[in-house]
Amino acid sequence: MPWLAPDLAAQSPAPGLMSVLGTELAPSSPGATIRIVAVGDIMMGTAFPDSTYLDPRIVRGVRAEDLIGAGLVDVLRSGDVTFGNLEGALFDEGGESKRCRNMDACYAFRSPEWYADLLADMGFNLMSLANNHSGDFLEAGREATMSALQKAGIGYAGLARPGPVTTTLSLADGTRVGLAAFSPNKGTVSIHDLAGLRGIVADLDRTHDVVIVSFHGGAEGAQNTHVTREPEEFYGERRGNVYEFAHAAIDAGADVVLGNGPHVPRAVQIYRDRFIAYSLGNFWTWKRFNLRGPNGLAPVLDLHVDREGRALAARVLSARQSDLGSPRLDPARQAMELMGKLSAEDFPESGLRFSPDGVIDWDRGDAGSERQEGAPEGRERRDPGI
């Protein structure tokens, strides 16, 4: 399995998986390694309050390569799992929106339903709907979004209603990947209910090989890049203690935790051999988002795990949003540099080392053995075939 597509001229090529790990490994059997590519917030343009907020480049038949570059598209398509956080509804009808004090300045997002096909063409096969914009067009918008994603073959999770709380992605080799998603927002699965989190994750863990948990949490903006390990608030809204949440998820059986919501990159961490990204920032947020400074950085996580979910190798590719908000690979590698700096400052105990090309290395047995005080002594792994 190649580490990266060979034509990424904008960023130096990285070594193969075995040399990244620095050890001589027997060749992997088919399906033994699962590649997860993950990004942050996605809102490719909105028809609300009017069509001037749509990206005029996005028309039926457009090639994704012409929008964000062939190198970035190749990375997205390389994942066995490719994940993002979908901000807003995929909803063609006018529909009633959420109420805002000033409807002309209302941040309600409604993208054309066929954008789901574009997402699928780029390689996305899992999406979180647990965020503060998935209900912008109420239940009609959520129904249309779920229908569009389902028709495009993209799994979704995070809504507090029967069915879309979690989803399952079955890979070609039979590997079962489960996704659960959480946020502090109405109509979504609550980030504040840690007992509920533990139950949901444990249920997935019993029947899946790899369990991914997404959360939309933490305060927003350039002044909130650090993981505080404390409860966070933003404009009076309780945004959760994302450190406590992520560790509780892994203690319950999650294998990968992917954060979004702060609109800026945050640190990454290895905990009990599992990978946590506390925020992957904004990936593709056309016209309606603040993209100044770190808000415009669009990191792409390229993660390899084994069939037990243990992190084997990881890399952060740097992209940034240009113009009114669409990503391109960033030769300056600003997203990687910021995440490396934040990881060293917020989690020095992890000892993570970022190489210039974004490859993350760590001492196995050190970072992987970190344990939150009071955490259970072991994670029971069950046969996913039951």
Lookup: tokens for 376:
């259970």
Q: CA-CA distance, 282 to 85, in Å (whole number)?
A: 9
DSSP state of 103: G
- What per-residue confidence (pLDDT) applies to 102? 61
Instruction: Tell whether the model's pLDDT for residue 139 goes beyond 80.
Output: yes
Provide the number of structural domains found in the chain. Answer: 1
In a domain, 379, yes or no: no
**Is residue 355 in a domain?**
yes
Reply yes or no: is the peptide bond before residue 49 cis, omega within 30 of 0.
Answer: yes
Greatest alpha-carbon pair distance for the chain in Å reads 61
Alpha-carbon gap, residue 298 to 40, rounded angstroms = 7
Return the pLDDT at 8: 35
Q: Tens digits of per-residue pLDDT, 204-233?
A: 999 999 999 999 999 999 999 999 999 999
CATH label of the domain that carries residue 144:
3.60.21.10
Tell me the helices (H) and strands (E) count for the chain, helix number first.
8, 21
Mean pLDDT in residue range 353-363:
96
Distance CA 78, CA 55 (A): 26
Structural domain contains residue 169:
yes
Best CA proximity match to 227, nearest among 239, 237, 236: 239
pLDDT over 80 at 378, yes or no: no
pLDDT score recorded for residue 22: 35
Q: For residue 15, is pLDDT > 50?
A: no
pLDDT at 105: 58
Edge-to-edge strand list for the sheet holding 256-260: 166-170, 176-182, 210-216, 256-260, 274-277, 268-271
The residue range of the domain holding 149 is 33-369
Residue 136 has pLDDT above 70, yes or no: yes
For residue 36, the surrounding DSSP H or E stretch is strand 33-43
In a domain, 6, yes or no: no
Of 39-48, 148-157, 237-246, 367-376, which gets the smallest average pLDDT? 367-376
Using 50, 70 and 90 to split pLDDT, how confident is the model at 96? Answer: confident
Instruction: List Cα–Cα distances, 185 to 46, 134, 141, 217, in angstroms.
Output: 21, 9, 16, 10
Average pLDDT over residues 314-330: 96
C-alpha 250, offset from chain centre: 16
Instruction: Lowest mean pLDDT of 11-25, 63-77, 173-187, 238-252, name the range.
Output: 11-25
Q: Can you tell me which residue has the tokens 């084997």? A: 312
User: Is residue 227 within 8 Å of 266, Cβ to Cβ?
Assistant: yes
The answer to whether residue 1 is domain-embedded is no
Report which of 181, 235, 239 is spatially closest to residue 212, judged by C-alpha positions: 181
What's the CA gap between 120 and 173, in Å, rounded?
20
| Whether residue 373 has pLDDT greater than 90 | no
Q: Output the average pLDDT for the chain.
A: 87
Q: Residue 274 pLDDT > 90, yes or no?
A: yes
Task: Assess whether pLDDT exceeds 60 at residue 14.
Answer: no
Question: Which amino acid, 162?
Answer: P
**For every residue of 267-309, which 3-state class applies, written as one string?**
CEEEECCEEEECCECEEEECCCCCCCHHHHECCEEEEEEECCC
Judged by phi (left if over 0) then psi (alpha if -120 to 50, else beta), residue 187 lies in: left
% of the chain surpassing 70 pLDDT: 84
Question: Does 12 reside within a domain?
Answer: no
Nearest one of 1, 15, 8 to 360, comparing CA atoms: 15
DSSP 74-85: HHHHT-SEEEEE
pTM of the model: 0.89
Q: Is residue 374 part of a domain?
A: no
Find tokens 């190649």 and name the residue: 2
Structure tokens at 28: 């992997």
Query: Is the distance from CB of 127 to CB of 85 less than 8 angstroms?
Result: yes
Per residue in 60-92, pLDDT tens?
999 999 999 999 999 999 999 999 999 999 999
Percent helix, percent strand, percent coil in the chain, to nearest 5: 25, 25, 45
User: Are the CB atoms for 265 and 294 separated by under 8 Å?
Assistant: yes
Q: Is residue 294 part of a domain?
A: yes
**The pairing of beta strand 81-86 with beta strand 311-317:** unpaired
